[in-house]
Amino acid sequence: MTGKERVLNAFNHKEGDFVPVSDQLIVSKVASEIIGRYAYTGGGEFEKDKIELLYKRERDFLVERYVEDTLKLHEQLDLDFIRVGLVPSSAYSIEDLPKRIGENTYLYENKETKNWSIYKFSELSGQFFCLDSSIDKEGFPALEREIKYIEKKLNDDIKFDDKSIFEGWDKIVEKVGDKKSIAFSAGISIPMRQVYLESIILKPDWIEIYLDYRTKWTIEFIKEAKKHNADFILGGGDLADKNGPVYNPNVFRKFLMPRYKKILDVCKSLGLFYVYRSDGNTRPLWNMWFLEIGFDGYGEIDKSAGIKLKELKEKYGEKITLVGNVDCAKTLVYGNKDQIYEEVKECIEDAARGGGYILTSSNSIHYNVPAKNFIYMVEAARKFGKY
């Protein structure tokens, strides 16, 4: 079978020849070790590289290498799906790029709202993280400017007329779209930042406006993605830590549930499967997600938060496809070959029966995962994953 067939079988709860295996993110550092050259595949390092290459007017080189490296990585390891992303427009302007204000540090500014954020790439963690922002500094005044800006755009049509942003995606599909399943990201969430969480209670109309626009954009992006031969969506948004959701499940029911139902209606009409992803202990939301809303799958299943595939399989196995969950916090970082093999075997035994399972890490193949450990994970999936 092809990887595409394995993945689609999993979503249709059918057993194929092998349990499908891949990951939603394999950062450039890990990819570089595997393919034997500096790679441009994703993660914080890739975000920094992207800015620096655009400064040098090497956008076409970036796209070419993103395609080449992504294909080489997934073909070399015989992975079953590829998560694709957008690339910078061929008509980008250097004036619109974030400003370099220090080593690996960049200032983003919105000229209309006057809001700003500072991002930094950490060579220690591999993260491209927000160091500071007007939202964090000012709170409600900065968020109000953002909401007013969004509200003015609510009635505008959302169009993806600039097809150059799909150039890398299209080239990957052209090469392997008949053999490997194509995934992309699109979701809505309430940002887990203090002022947004406070606004749930103090400024709920702001949250409604924010989510209305994000829902509208997401639906139009999903429609466009289908034209570019996508198979499924790795969507959702983080909302929990190891102790549980950061807000009451009734907040999800009020603000997100009706909007996700609209998104899923569009997905079903297009034949796209939707996977909700969030780290943390999300148990209080499961019945709503899988029995009421009807997400097709669940990813970023957080082993470090005590979430086990066996528990999910027993409760919802006929309704959802599980995507996970080899522990990338401990096992894939510190484990040896035998420990990784044992954990992969356990995941397959707990979740693969009857289809409805795609083996990945519990979040991503991140900066601190040794390349050999990811290779062991894939080897073990083929060793133990034969139906």
Q: How confident is the model over 283-333, as pLDDT tens digits?
A: 999 999 999 999 999 999 999 999 999 999 999 999 999 999 999 999 999
Short-list 328, 266, 319, CA closest to 301: 328
- Beta-sheet pairing, 116-121 with 105-109: antiparallel
Letter string b/e over residues 87-101, b meaning 16 or more CB atoms within 10 A of that residue's CB: bbeeebeeeebbeee
375: helix, strand or coil: helix
Cα separations (Å) of 305 from 242, 318, 326?
A: 5, 24, 13
What count of other Cβ atoms lies within 10 Å of the Cβ of residue 85? 17
- Beta-sheet pairing, 81-83 with 273-277: unpaired
Short-list 203, 309, 207, CA closest to 254: 207
CA distance 119 to 101: 10
pLDDT for the residue numbered 10: 98
Cα separations (Å) of 234 from 59, 172, 324?
A: 26, 18, 12
CA distance 282 to 249: 10
pLDDT for the residue numbered 32: 98
User: Where would I find the H helices in 228-280?
Assistant: 249-251, 257-270
Put simply, whether the predicted model's pTM sits higher than 0.85 gets the answer yes
pLDDT for the residue numbered 168: 98
CA distance 311 to 290: 14
Token duo for residue 72? 């080489």
pLDDT below 70 — which residues of the chain?
A: none
CA distance 16 to 354: 9
Token duo for residue 109? 């500014």
| Cβ 85 vs Cβ 169: under 8 Å | yes
pLDDT tens-digit series, residues 121-145: 999 999 999 999 999 999 999 999 9
CA distance 189 to 239: 8
CA distance 376 to 359: 13
